[in-house]
Amino acid sequence: MPARVDAFRPADLTAEQRALYDRLLDSARATTNRPFPIADEEGRLRGPFNGMLLSPELGNALQELGTAVRFGTGFTQRQKELAILAVAAHERSEYEWAVHSHAALHAGITEDQLAAIRAGADCGLDDPVEITVLATARELAASGDLTDDGFTAATDVLGLARLYELVTLVGYYRLVADQLRVLRVTD
């Protein structure tokens, strides 16, 4: 399916769009997503970032939240990628899957584990925190809630503050998956 919104050309941006565009290109995510740069060779934003330009004020708030959940939680890179991949698999978000499966490989998650995550199967994790992060993210992605048992298991391992971070991270990536789907973003 073709994209529903053409990528904005940098020369055509309003002042508000340009300010957000510049913030995005100067952000931590712009330097950590190689080989998935957030802009193409003509400077047009890729992935969810082009959509943010549709409403610069809202787009800026969303990119700030994205920065916080990617770089401001107490989770390790592996733990974050497990949660993000649980969302990408559930939502069938191919863009999120492509970007974050690559990041997960760099964080030490194996190809076999990636296949298991995508299939919703046990992926042979040994670390109790990673097991809890993945199980909790899967439950949140599937239902938008946690059962009492899921909540207790998550708080027992993660603590309440870290669970709050995980709920926020999963919610952010569910939102991004919705935006990517509605706007038909594939790259």
Q: Is 108 helix (H, G, I), strand (E, B) or coil?
A: coil
Residue type, 61: A
Q: How far apart are CA 131 and CA 113, in angstroms?
A: 12
Q: How far apart are CA 58 and CA 62, in angstroms?
A: 6
Q: Which domains does the chain have, with CATH numbers?
A: 10-71 (no CATH), 77-183 (1.20.1290.10)
Residue 48 is predicted with a pLDDT of 93
Residue 38 is predicted with a pLDDT of 86
What is the per-residue pLDDT across 72-108, written as a single tens digit (0 to 9) for each?
A: 999 999 999 999 999 999 999 999 999 999 999 999 9
Residue 35 is predicted with a pLDDT of 66
SS (H, E, C) the chain: CCCCCCCCCHHHCCHHHHHHHHHHHCCHHHHHCCCCCCECCCCCECCHHHHHCCCHHHHHHHHHHHHHHHHCCCCCHHHHHHHHHHHHHHHCCHHHHHHHHHHHHHCCCCHHHHHHHHHCCCCCCCCHHHHHHHHHHHHHHHHCCCCHHHHHHHHHHHCHHHHHHHHHHHHHHHHHHHHHHHHCCCC
Residue 30 is predicted with a pLDDT of 72
Q: What number is the average pLDDT over the span 132-154?
A: 98
Q: What number is the average pLDDT over the span 104-120?
A: 97
Q: What number is the average pLDDT over the span 130-149?
A: 98
What is the per-residue pLDDT across 1-44, written as a single tens digit (0 to 9) for each?
A: 788 999 999 999 999 999 999 999 988 777 665 667 889 999 99
Residue 113 is predicted with a pLDDT of 98
Residue 163 is predicted with a pLDDT of 98
What is the per-residue pLDDT across 57-74, written as a single tens digit (0 to 9) for each?
A: 999 999 999 999 989 999
Q: Is the pLDDT of residue 169 over 70?
A: yes
Confidence of residue 186 (pLDDT cuts 50, 70, 90): confident
> Between 187 and 142, where is the model more confident?
142
Q: How far apart are CA 71 and CA 53, in angstroms?
A: 22
